[in-house]
Every structure is written in C-alpha cells, then in structure tokens.
C-alpha cells in the first residue's frame, strides 16, 4: 500500500521509466494527480499532454498544443478549430500516435493523460473504435518501444475487458498527516497577522485538526476549513467538529454505511461489563498522538457475543462516544446485491469509506447474519464466501485506525476463520447481568427516567430481577430492565392522570410491572447454557465473576483463568 505522495511519485516514476504503456491513477483528486504528473514530467524531460471531453487536447496549463508537436519545425499554436475537433477521443488518439512516430517528436518522450475516458470505452452503446484505437496505441508503445506512456486519471473501475491485461492501476493516496499538517499550519500562519480573525493560541490545536482531517481530500479539507472560519471568523476547537460533519457526508454518500450520532453516550451508560469496559478504556490511548508517538499500534477490533439484550450494541455506541470518534454502522444486508461481482465491490467500497473517515469505530451488528454459516449450504454461487474473504483479509492486514466493533448473538454460525487470532484482538462473551450489574443497570434507567435512584431500594430491585424470583440461572437482561422501568413509569403516569394526584413512581409500580415479564433467559435457557459452555473455552468474560464484581480489580477473566492486564 502506498503510504503518501512520495511513495506514489516513486512508484509512478518507476512505471513511466519502465515504459508501462497504460497506467490508471485511481483517485477523485484530479488536481493533485496532475500536479504530481507535472513534476515527474519535468524531472524526466517528458512532454505532458492532456485530453478531456470538454477541452479536447491541451497542455497541462490549459493552453493549446504547439504545431511543432505535429509537423516538426513549424511554430505557433495549433489552430483553434482543429483543437476543438480533438475533443473526440478517436481523433485525439490518432494525434497521439502521429506524435510518437514523428521524426521530430519531443526528445524525452510523451505522457498522454486521459481524464475520465471510460464513458467512451465501457458503456454498451460506446463506439468500439475508441477501444480499438486506444488498444492499438498501447500495443504500439509496448511493441515498438516508443518513448510514451498513456495515463488514465479516474476513480472508475469500469475497465473494458479488452484492456484489462494492458492496464496497471495505481492508487493516489489521500493526503498524509505531514501534508495536512503543512496545509493547516500554513493557514494558521496566514490568519494570525490578520486582525479580522481570532486564532486559538493552543499549539495542540493543529494536531487535533490534523487528526480530524485524516481521510479527507485536500479539496474537502480546504472547503470545510474555509466554511468553519468564515462562519464565526475564528479558528478554534469548534472547527474540528466541522471536519467531522464533512466526514458524515462521505458516509452518507456511500449508500452502504450509516453514520450514528452517539455523542450523548459514554461508557458510564453501560451497566456492568467491567472487564470489557476496562479493556476498551485502555485502548483509547492508541488513537491519541501521544500513543502513536509511544509506538502503540491501532487495535484491530473486538468481537462481542452473548445473550441478546445485554449491552453489546450499547457498548459499541458508547465506546465511540467516549473515544470521540465517528461511529459508522455497516449493515451486512446492504452489501449483497443480485448483480454478479457487485457484492464484493460493495464490501470494498465500504472498506474504502471507513478508511477515508478513519480514525473511526466501525460497528457491525449481528455479523453472523451476513456471513456464510459454518458447515452450512452456500447457495449463492460463492458470493458470501468472497465477501467474507475480502472482509477478513482487510481485517487481518489493515493498518488504518479503523476499530471494528462486531457483535454476534449466534456465535456458532460464524465461520472458524472469522474467530482465529489475528482477526480480532479479543472475543468477549456477555452473559446475563449478575446482581451487582443489575443494580447498576436499574440505577441508570431510573436516573434516565428523571428520578433519584436513592429514593428506591436498589438492592431489593436487583434481587427481584434475578434468580430469587425467576429461578436458578435466570435473570433479566439489560434490555428487559429498561422495558421494566419504562412500564412502571407508564403505570405511574396513568395513575396520576386517572386519580388527579401528584403521586410518582414507586416501588409498588416496579414490583407490579415485574409480574408481567417473562425473561428471555427462561424461554431460551438451553441455548444460553450452550453459549456459556462455548465461552468457557473460546472467549473472555465481559464481566468479573460475581464474587469479584464489587472489587476494583485489574484482572481479566478468561475462561476461568485470570490474566493480569
């Protein structure tokens, strides 16, 4: 993977010197690509000539090409009428071929650049002469050792089959941290002397701005910074949020991913799960500039499985808010399409968008529903297996700071290759909340309902919601506790409306509402027992054992063993 513009320039320079006849630069940043090509052309003494459908054939600065490029010694610009005629791709290709064979051609050779030619080459109704002429030119350059290269600048992957074996694709990387820092620092230097603008003197502001801008193009960074500054004539931490809003636009335009606004949450909103929260809290440092300087690698992600309704999805939302990172939701159902090959492309597009908005948290809810089932029949011609391979390869090899938070309710349906070490940093199992955790969850929901938890016997409520009432190994899940408290609030509100009194939520309301609840753990006791057996051998417990739940331990319980973090 090309890390920055210098790596890109070195790779492209090598391809040009090796006379690769057809190279595609995959990017949305046409201006950056042309600037890099201009520098390489100057260095290698190449004549850079551009074709576009709107302007025909022209020099990199937009000026008409010289007659000398066509007929040797004659000076002066190419006639305007002939210039306009060269907006036709076939005419431009004929011109380029005459240029490379002309005896007085440019001594250093040519770089012929095509801007978005694929509508002329790939659409079903496209004239086949365009594909034929381009292929003729490419074959002539390769077979006759002409001093020329054809370069396509386009993000499209609509490469005609006739050219697939001829073309080499190279990605223009997004602006690196150093490029963005130079851009932002230059902007700050320009604003400081201007009394019309107020610049925050905090030296760490540039670092925070760069962190938030990673993954955007230079044009996007420039636009959102200009908008943020003009908005209040200030350059401060408020402008960092403007950049995050720009990243939301990238996610929305993808059509596959969804941006989740979780800013009102924190890990304090998750009751229990102390070991999972401790593990997540310690890895927050990996996304800070200090952590990177210390050498901490960005974590790959975590897979959280267990009993439905026990806080897996809430944990994903809360950790993104606590880390102050964008939360991106991937619906695996949107990845799959009926068109051959499009499902794999959708997964690759989703990955590219996530890397563009990194650092971020990628939340994949119920991941098992979008992947082929282990030992199951795969009746989709292998599409789901190819999507799985694309995702797992990226998860294994990714270097971008995308933290994958995957949840699964039915872990037995996940293929073994998704569970092996190296894919996820850790696999956590979320069980039914113990009594101390139920007390904490009840307290959270009572407070969220606008009531003072100290007015209620929380210990009694925690005992009532577990085995004391429902039997051994049965307790309410976090989602059921939320519903229980809400039902009690509804009953108290209806009583107030009916009686016309100022009575409020009471213990009696909570006790009465509890009588109507049939816990999930009671209906699916056999399945939950099987989950626990699997977790004892393969997963880390998200909660400390009940006898240790009230202690402030830094020990992680793994299948009955204790591992010091």
Q: Are 396 and 423 in contact (CB under 8 A)?
A: yes
* pLDDT attached to residue 68: 57
d(CA 55, CA 67): 17
d(CA 317, CA 324): 11
* pLDDT attached to residue 21: 95
Location of each CATH 1.10.8 domain in the chain: 177-254
Q: Are 323 and 437 in contact (CB under 8 A)?
A: no
In the three-class reduction of DSSP (H, G, I as helix; E, B as strand; rest coil), residue 226 is classed as helix
- Residue 223's alpha-carbon distances to 156, 197, 213, 453, in angstroms, are 24, 17, 12, 48
Best CA proximity match to 241, nearest among 209, 267, 194, 288: 209
Best CA proximity match to 464, nearest among 485, 490, 448: 485
* pLDDT attached to residue 243: 79
* pLDDT attached to residue 347: 85
* pLDDT attached to residue 563: 39
User: What letter would DSSP give residue 102?
Assistant: -
Location of each CATH 3.40.50.300 domain in the chain: 5-171, 267-430
* pLDDT attached to residue 541: 93
d(CA 379, CA 384): 9
Structure tokens at 160: 């005609």
**Rounded-to-5 percentages of helix, strand, coil across the chain:** 50, 15, 35
* pLDDT attached to residue 85: 53
> Contacts by 192-197 with C-beta closer than 8 Å and gap 24+?
196/233, 197/229, 197/233, 197/234, 197/235
What length does the chain have? 565
Superfamily of domain 5-171: P-loop containing nucleotide triphosphate hydrolases (3.40.50.300)
Burial class from Cβ neighbours inside 10 Å (0-12, 13-18, 19+) for residue 21 reads buried
Measure CA 314 to chain center: 19
Structure tokens at 187: 């902007």
d(CA 383, CA 346): 12
* pLDDT attached to residue 546: 65
Q: Are strands 555-558 and 561-564 parallel, antiparallel or unpaired?
A: antiparallel
Q: Are 52 and 115 in contact (CB under 8 A)?
A: yes
Superfamily of domain 267-430: P-loop containing nucleotide triphosphate hydrolases (3.40.50.300)
Burial class from Cβ neighbours inside 10 Å (0-12, 13-18, 19+) for residue 138 reads buried
Q: Are 178 and 4 in contact (CB under 8 A)?
A: yes
3.40.50, 1.10.8, 2.20.25, 1.10.620: which CATH number matches 177-254? 1.10.8
* pLDDT attached to residue 195: 83
pLDDT tens, N- to C-terminus, the chain (565 residues): 556 889 999 999 999 999 999 999 998 899 999 999 999 999 999 999 999 988 888 888 888 776 555 544 434 454 554 554 567 898 889 889 888 877 455 678 999 999 989 888 887 777 889 999 999 999 999 998 888 999 999 988 788 888 889 999 998 988 888 889 899 888 888 888 888 888 888 888 888 888 778 778 888 888 888 888 888 888 888 888 777 777 777 777 777 888 888 888 889 899 999 999 999 999 988 887 788 788 888 888 999 999 999 999 999 999 998 988 889 999 877 777 555 456 777 888 888 888 877 888 999 988 887 666 555 444 455 677 788 888 888 888 888 889 999 998 887 777 787 787 778 999 999 999 999 999 999 999 999 999 999 999 999 999 999 998 998 889 999 999 999 999 999 999 988 888 777 678 999 999 999 998 999 998 888 889 988 898 888 889 999 886 544 444 344 443 333 333 3
In the three-class reduction of DSSP (H, G, I as helix; E, B as strand; rest coil), residue 237 is classed as coil
Angle subtended at Cα 284 by Cα 272 and Cα 546, rounded to the nearest 5 degrees:
20
pTM score above 0.85 = no
Q: Are 137 and 121 in contact (CB under 8 A)?
A: no
In the three-class reduction of DSSP (H, G, I as helix; E, B as strand; rest coil), residue 55 is classed as coil
Whose tokens are 């230059």? That residue is 186
d(CA 223, CA 206): 17
* pLDDT attached to residue 340: 46
């Amino acid at each position: 993977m090309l890390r920055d513009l210098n790596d890109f320039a070195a790779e492209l320079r090598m391809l040009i010197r090796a006379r690769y006849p057809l190279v595609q630069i995959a990017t949305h940043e046409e201006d950056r690509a042309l600037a890099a090509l201009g520098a390489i052309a100057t260095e290698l003494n190449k004549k850079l000539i551009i074709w576009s459908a709107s302007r025909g054939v022209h020099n990199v600065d937009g000026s008409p090409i010289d007659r000398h490029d066509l007929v040797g010694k004659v000076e002066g610009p190419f006639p305007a009428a002939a210039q306009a005629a060269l907006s036709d791709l076939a005419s431009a290709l004929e011109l380029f071929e005459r240029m490379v064979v002309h005896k007085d051609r440019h001594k250093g050779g040519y770089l012929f650049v095509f801007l978005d030619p694929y509508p002329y080459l790939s659409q079903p109704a496209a004239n086949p002469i365009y594909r034929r002429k381009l292929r003729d030119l490419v074959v002539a350059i390769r077979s006759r050792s002409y001093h020329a290269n054809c370069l396509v600048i386009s993000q499209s992957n609509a490469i005609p089959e006739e050219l697939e074996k001829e073309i080499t694709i190279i990605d223009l990387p997004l602006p690196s941290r150093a490029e963005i820092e130079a851009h932002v620092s230059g902007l700050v230097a320009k604003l400081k002397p201007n009394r019309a603008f107020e610049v925050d003197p905090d030296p760490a502001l540039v670092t925070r701005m760069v962190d938030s801008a990673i993954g955007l193009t230079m044009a996007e960074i420039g636009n959102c910074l200009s908008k943020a500054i003009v908005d209040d004539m200030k350059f401060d931490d408020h402008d960092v949020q403007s950049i995050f809003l720009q990243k939301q636009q990238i996610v929305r335009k993808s059509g596959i991913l969804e941006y989740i606004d979780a800013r009102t949450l924190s890990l304090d909103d998750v009751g229990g799960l102390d070991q999972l929260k401790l593990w997540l809290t310690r890895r927050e440092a990996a996304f800070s500039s200090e952590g990177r300087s210390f050498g901490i690698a960005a974590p790959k992600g975590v897979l959280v499985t267990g009993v439905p309704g026990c806080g897996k999805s809430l944990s994903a939302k809360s950790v993104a808010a606590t880390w102050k990172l964008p939360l991106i939701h991937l619906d695996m159902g949107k990845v799959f399409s009926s068109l051959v090959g499009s499902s794999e492309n959708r997964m690759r597009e989703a990955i590219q968008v996530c890397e563009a908005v990194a650092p971020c948290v990628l939340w994949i809810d119920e991941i098992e529903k979008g992947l082929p089932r282990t030992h199951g029949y795969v009746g989709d011609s292998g599409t789901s297996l190819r999507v799985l391979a694309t995702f797992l390869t990226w998860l294994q090899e990714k270097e971008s700071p995308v933290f994958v938070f995957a949840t699964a309710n039915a872990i037995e349906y996940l293929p073994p290759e998704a569970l092996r070490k190296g894919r996820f940093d850790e696999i956590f199992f979320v069980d039914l909340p113990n009594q101390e955790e139920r007390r904490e969850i009840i307290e959270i929901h009572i407070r969220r309902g606008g009531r003072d938890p100290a007015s209620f016997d929380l210990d009694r409520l925690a005992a009532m919601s577990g085995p004391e009432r429902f039997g051994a190994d049965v307790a309410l899940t976090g989602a059921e506790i939320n519903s229980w408290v809400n039902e009690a609030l509804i009953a108290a509100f209806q009583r107030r409306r009916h009686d016309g009194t100022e009575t409020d939520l009471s213990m009696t309301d909570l006790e009465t509402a509890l009588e109507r609840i049939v816990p999930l753990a009671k209906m699916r006791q056999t399945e939950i027992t099987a989950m626990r057996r699997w977790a004892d051998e393969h997963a880390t417990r998200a909660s400390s054992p009940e006898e240790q739940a009230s202690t402030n331990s830094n020990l992680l319980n793994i299948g009955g063993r204790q591992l010091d973090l």
